[in-house]
Amino acid sequence: MSNSANVTPNDLSAFWMPFTSNRQFKKAPRMFVAAKDMHYTTSDGRQVLDGTAGLWCCNAGHCRPKITEAIQKQAAELDYAPAFQMGHPKAFELANRLVDIAPEGLNHVLFTNSGSESVETALKLALAYHKVRGEGSRTRLIGRERAYHGVNFGGISVGGIVTNRKMFGTLLAGVDHMPHTHNLSKNAFSKGPPEYGTELADELERIVTLHDASTIAAVIVEPVAGSTGVLIPPMGYLKRLREITKKHGILLIFDEVITGFGRLGTPFGADYFGVTPDMMVTAKGLTNGVIPMGAVLVSSEIHDTFMTGPEHMIEFFHGYTYSGNPIASAAGLATLETYREEGLLTRGKEMGEYFGEALHSLKGEPHVIDIRNIGLVGAVELEPIAGSPTKRAFSAFVKGFESGFLVRTTGDIIAMSPPLIVEKHHIDELIEGLRKVLKAID
Ligand SMILES: Cc1ncc(COP(=O)(O)O)c(C=O)c1O
C-alpha cells in the first residue's frame, strides 16, 4: 500500500510547511482557496485584503488575465525546452525586456527559479569573474547583519539573521558582515530614508583594511532590507558603498528580490537610490509570483570577461534545468507587459505618499515604537512582550487575518507591501483595520 493511501485528502500532516509553526498552524489552519486583484478568498468564504502582495511578489495583484492567458497558451504550445545548449525565443525576449527596464549598463541576464537561486548565482559569478580575470585571490564575500538573501548555503552565509544560520554549521568560509543600519534611538518614525547612519557604510573600509581588498570578491546588500523587518538605508549610505566598492575593485551586488519591479515607486531600488550595482538579483515580482522564476542582471564588463577562450567551450559552468523555462518566460513577459500598460513600475511613488501618511497616523497607538516607510513598503515595530518576543506581532497578524486583512510579521515588526494596484480606499481599510487590531491585542 502506498503511503498516500493512508492519508485522507484534508490531512494536513504530510506537508511540512516552510517557515511556519507547523503544529500551531495545523491546529487552526488559515487557508486561501482563490484570489482576485487585491483580495484573497478563504476556505470559509471570507474576503481578505492582501496587504503583502502574497509574499512581496504579486505586484500586479492576483489572477491578472494577461498573465493567466500567457501561461495557459504557453503550456499548450511549448511546455519545456532543454535549457542547456538549446533555446526557445521567449527566454531571449524576456532577457531583452528586462535589460530595457534595468539601470543602464546591466545588459545581460541569467535565469533562475527563485530569489535564493539568484543569490547563489550572483555569488558564484562574482568569484568566477575575479578568477577569470586573474585575481583568484578575491574569494571573500561580504554581507550585512540582519540581511535576508534566501535559504541556500551562500545566501545564509552572507545573510545576517541568526535563526536562519545557527543550525547549519560553519557555512561558507571567508564571509564577513557589515553592521546593519537599524537604529531606533536615532531614527524612529522616519519617513523615507532615515537621516542618521550614513557613516555605517564606512565599516566596509574597516573590513577592507582587515582583510585587504585583494581578498574580497563582492559585497551584497538589499537596497531596502525587507524580510528582516523593513530596514531602510540611511541617506547616502548606498552611494557610499558604491564609492568604496569601486575604489577597491570589489563587485557590488544588489539583492532586489523585494525592491525590484516597482516596490519603491521606481523600477528597481537602484533607480530609487541612484546607484548602479554590478549585479542585480531578482525574483518574486518578475512573474508576479505566479510561476517560480528569478533573474540575475549583470554588467557588460562581467559578461564580456567570460566571453573569451575557444568558442566551443562553456563559459560559465552553472545553470538550472528550469533556467528560462518557457512557461515562466511567458509569465514574465506578460507580467512586464501588465506593469507597462498600467504604469505599475512607478505607481508606488504617488500611492506611496498616501500610504506613508496613512501608516504614520498609527503613531501613538498601543505598543507602537517605530513606523517606517518607503514607496509601497511600510513597517510598524511593536514593543515586544517581556519574555515572549514575536508573540505580540504574531497575534496582530492572526487577528488581522480573522478580521479581513493580511500583513506579514518578522519578530515584533509588522510589514506591509500591498500590490501596486492598491487604491486609496484599500490603504484606508488596511490601516484602520490595523489600528483596531493594535487596540485589541495585549
Ligand atoms: C531580499 C531577498 N533575497 C532573497 C530571497 C529569497 O527568495 P526565494 O524565497 O524566492 O528563494 C528573498 C525572499 O523573501 C528576499 O527577500
Residue 256 CA, closest ligand 1 atom number: 1
Predicted local distance difference test score (pLDDT) of residue 52 = 98
* Model-wide pTM > 0.85: yes
Ligand 1 centroid distance, CA of 349 (Å) = 23
Mutate to test the pocket of ligand 1, among 146, 231, 284, 409 (most ligand atoms within 8 A of CB): 284
User: What is the helix (H) or strand (E) element at residue 6, kind and residue range?
Assistant: none
Residue 210 has pLDDT above 80, yes or no: yes
What mean pLDDT is predicted for residues 175-202? 98
Ligand 1 centroid distance, CA of 369 (Å) = 27
Predicted local distance difference test score (pLDDT) of residue 3 = 54
Q: Which residue has the cell 483596531?
A: 436
Mutate to test the pocket of ligand 1, among 20, 52, 112, 116 (most ligand atoms within 8 A of CB): 116
Residues with CB under 6 A from ligand 1: 114-116, 119, 148-150, 222, 226-227, 255, 257-258, 283
Residue 152 CA, closest ligand 1 atom number: 11
What mean pLDDT is predicted for residues 230-237? 98
Ligand 1 centroid distance, CA of 47 (Å) = 27
Residue 2 has pLDDT above 70, yes or no: no
Which residues of 153-198 form beta strands (DSSP E)?
A: 175-178
Ligand 1 centroid distance, CA of 257 (Å) = 6
Ligand 1 centroid distance, CA of 326 (Å) = 22
Considering the chain, what percentage of its residues have pLDDT values greater than 70?
Answer: 98
Walk across the sheet containing 408-410 and list its strands. 368-374, 377-382, 413-416, 408-410
Q: Which three cell numbers stand for residue 410?
A: 518578522
Asked whether the beta carbons of 380 and 413 are under 8 A apart, the reply is: yes
pLDDT digit string (tens) for 112-168? Answer: 999 999 999 999 999 999 999 999 999 999 999 999 999 999 999 999 999 999 999
Residue 222 CA, closest ligand 1 atom number: 1
Mean pLDDT of the chain: 97
Query: What single-letter amino acid sits at 87?
Result: G
- 382: β partners: 368
Predicted local distance difference test score (pLDDT) of residue 129 = 98
Ligand 1 centroid distance, CA of 335 (Å) = 19
User: Per this entry, what is the length of the chain?
Assistant: 442
Residue 9 has pLDDT above 90, yes or no: no
In the structure, what pLDDT confidence band is assigned to residue 424 with cuts at 50, 70 and 90? very high
pLDDT digit string (tens) for 368-412? Answer: 999 999 999 999 999 999 999 999 999 999 999 999 999 999 999
Considering the chain, what percentage of its residues have pLDDT values greater than 90?
Answer: 98
pLDDT digit string (tens) for 71-90? Answer: 999 999 999 999 999 999 99
pLDDT digit string (tens) for 49-76? Answer: 999 999 999 999 999 999 999 999 999 9
In the structure, what pLDDT confidence band is assigned to residue 10 with cuts at 50, 70 and 90? confident
Atom 13 of ligand 1, residue of closest alpha carbon? 150
Q: Which three cell numbers stand for residue 69?
A: 492567458
Among 1-5, 224-228, 296-300, 320-324, where is mean pLDDT lowest?
1-5
Ligand 1 centroid distance, CA of 57 (Å) = 10
Predicted local distance difference test score (pLDDT) of residue 250 = 99
Residue partners of 324: CB distance under 8 A and separation at least 6: 83, 88, 90, 91, 94, 95, 111
What mean pLDDT is predicted for residues 90-116? 98
In the structure, what pLDDT confidence band is assigned to residue 1 with cuts at 50, 70 and 90? very low
- Going by C-alpha positions, the residue among 342, 237, 278 that lies closest to residue 102 is 278
Predicted local distance difference test score (pLDDT) of residue 4 = 52
Q: Cα separation of 28 and 316, whole Å?
A: 48
